[in-house]
Structure 1
Amino acid sequence: MANPPPQHNSYLPLYTPPQVAHHEWRTASNSAAYLLPSLSALATSTPNLRLLDVGCGSGTISTSLAALIPSGSVTATDISPEILARAKDLAAKAGVANISFQEADIYALPFEDGTFDVVHASMVLSHVDDPVQAYREMLRVTRPNGGLVANRESDLRMWSYYPPLPGLRRAHEVLLATTREGGGNVDAGAKLVAWAMEAGVGKEAIEVSMGTWMYSSVEERRMWGDTMVERCRRGGGREKALEMGIATEADFESMAEAWAEWQAAEDACHGMMHGEILIRK
């Protein structure tokens, strides 16, 4: 009798509307700039380039990548059929036709070996409990002799913000503790090279960099502040923190109030750092 598949952790943030609004703020330009020069070069040499976007969420990065390779195609996958339906609608509204959507598990991608020229994932491995196996699957479906794996992940330890509100400091502490308890990786951005090498990649095939997000404009503060207030008042991260005794109801209410204060402050900003890796096969 075959062994049952291993049980992996679930995606804690869930798909609440403000969380999804933050996902839909992401584009190729603000979340995959490290990939774009290599993608452009590959698209020139491989006109019918095939790109797989793993864990695409609402698909705004996937759709903007598809728009950059009009002669190629993008297959975007996620484990949630509900969020894939949203991604499909957004792609249709954007008028991008060279993209398809498919439900898939990152640990068991339903594609033959070497199917894709480029395999991309953004902010996915920080949430999974076995990133090395995820890399092995991404590498498996990438073509040899010229294929490319691209991945960007947060280093959740690295927050920089103003004003220095105690509620934001507490929110950061709770995020780190809850991510660890939920099986995620708070230091994912710093571990990409280590995970890739453990998955069998030679150091000579790896190019690594760091990127950032910064929220400062009125629109950015509104989007990020709404997301964080929502996380404090409902969602999987909040429930995990309460269940594990990491935070109390009063903690979450004070954190929500701090995020609302931050959002309203004209001089407020919030920055985060991300690791970025390109793996050449």
Structure 2
Amino acid sequence: MTTQHTPYAIGHAPSHTKHHEWRTAANSAPHLLPHLPKALSSNPNLKLLDIGCGPGTISASLAQHLLPSGHVLATDIADDVLERAKEHAISQGLSVPQNISFQKESVYELSFPDNEFDIVHAHQVLCHLDDPVAAVKEMLRVCKPGGLISLRESDMHMWCFWPELPSLLKFHELMVNVMLANGGQDKGGRKLVSWIMEAGVDRKDIEAGFGTWCYSEPGDRKAWGEAMIERLRTGQMRQRGIEVGLTTEEDIEEMVKGWREWMERGDATLGIVNGEVIVKKAAS
């Protein structure tokens, strides 16, 4: 009998995925990039599975690193976001399906055979799942023995704002509580090693660390702030927050004003800490 899991409640509306387009392999998979040259030297036709690709900006930049013969298969659960990811890949000069292809998949029930991919990558996926360990087990299943699994997850309690505007602190509290109300994980970054070991991986096969995002340059502040305002105006966070009594229309307007002030402040910064792991699947 198939286990029923909580769906990806946040969805793929532009209000949620807009700021995801800022992400690249360089700023969102820096722990994986140093491993690619060695992997390609031993297998130029390397196959990389990208789970939960969203708008595909990380997928496309990973595909650039695998040229000319490597291949990225980017997956997500929604047709519309996969189409946007495909359009982005083409805009970056990648050949579809030679360099990169796209497929609708659930991380809980991947349609691929065992030991299929040299590298399995997922970025900010486990935090949205009610059973991250089951997802890791499925990633392990489709990864080749000796292959790599690359994961990166934000830890929602390791965000730091300046200035510490009360409205933005209230926004952060709302974001955490909506994540939990949706069945997600608010401490994914610090739990990665634990989840992976629970999935059956020996600690010696896990390389763990933490990386950061920093939104401080004017363009980065604008991209992040506008995306958060759009979430508050039209996104699932607004709808869900009001629905379960976590916020009010008045609070939301206060948060919108806070993000506008933050974007305009020359000294404004936002730092986010992400847990990062590279897992080497044991040889069979």
Q: TM-score, normalised by structure 1?
A: 0.96
Equivalent position SS for 1:67: helix
1:50 has 2:51 as partner: no
Alignment-mate amino acid for residue 141 of structure 2: R
Alignment-mate amino acid for residue 261 of structure 2: E
Q: Is the 8 A contact 1:12 1:235 kept in 2?
A: no
Aligned to 1:101: 102
Aligned to 1:142: 143
Q: Is the 8 A contact 2:118 2:143 kept in 1?
A: yes
Deviates more, 1:229-238 or 1:109-118: 229-238
Equivalent position SS for 2:106: coil
Question: What RMSD, in angstroms, separates the aligned Cα atoms of the two structures?
Answer: 1.0
Q: Is the 8 A contact 1:35 1:278 kept in 2?
A: yes
- Tell me, in whole angstroms, the C-alpha distance in 1 between the residues paired with 2:15 and 2:239: 17
1:1-281 aligned at under 5 Å gives the runs: 3=1, 5-70=2-67, 71-97=69-95, 98-144=99-145, 146-281=146-281
Q: Is the 8 A contact 1:12 1:237 kept in 2?
A: no
- Tell me, in whole angstroms, the C-alpha distance in 2 between the residues paired with 1:243 and 1:114: 43
Extract unaligned runs of 5+ from structure 2: none
- Tell me, in whole angstroms, the C-alpha distance in 2 between the residues paired with 1:266 and 1:59: 31
Report how far residue 139 of structure 1 moved.
0.5
Alignment-mate amino acid for residue 65 of structure 2: L
Equivalent position SS for 2:168: helix
- Tell me, in whole angstroms, the C-alpha distance in 1 between the residues paired with 2:155 and 2:119: 24
Q: Is the 8 A contact 2:15 2:234 kept in 1?
A: no
- Tell me, in whole angstroms, the C-alpha distance in 2 between the residues paired with 1:152 and 1:94: 24
Assess, with a 3 A threshold, how the Cα gap between structure 1 residues 13 and 265 changes in structure 2: closer, same or farther: farther
Q: Is the 8 A contact 2:15 2:235 kept in 1?
A: no
Where does structure 1 differ by over 3 angstroms across 4 or more consecutive aligned residues? none
Equivalent position SS for 1:14: coil
1:34-83 Cα distance to aligned partner (Å, 9 max, x none): 00111221111111100000000011101100110112101000001000
- Tell me, in whole angstroms, the C-alpha distance in 1 between the residues paired with 2:37 and 2:268: 36
Q: Is the 8 A contact 2:8 2:128 kept in 1?
A: yes
1:97-128 Cα distance to aligned partner (Å, 9 max, x none): 20000000010011000000000000110111
1:9-34 Cα distance to aligned partner (Å, 9 max, x none): 23233333343221111000000010
Extract unaligned runs of 5+ from structure 1: none
Q: TM-score, normalised by structure 2?
A: 0.95
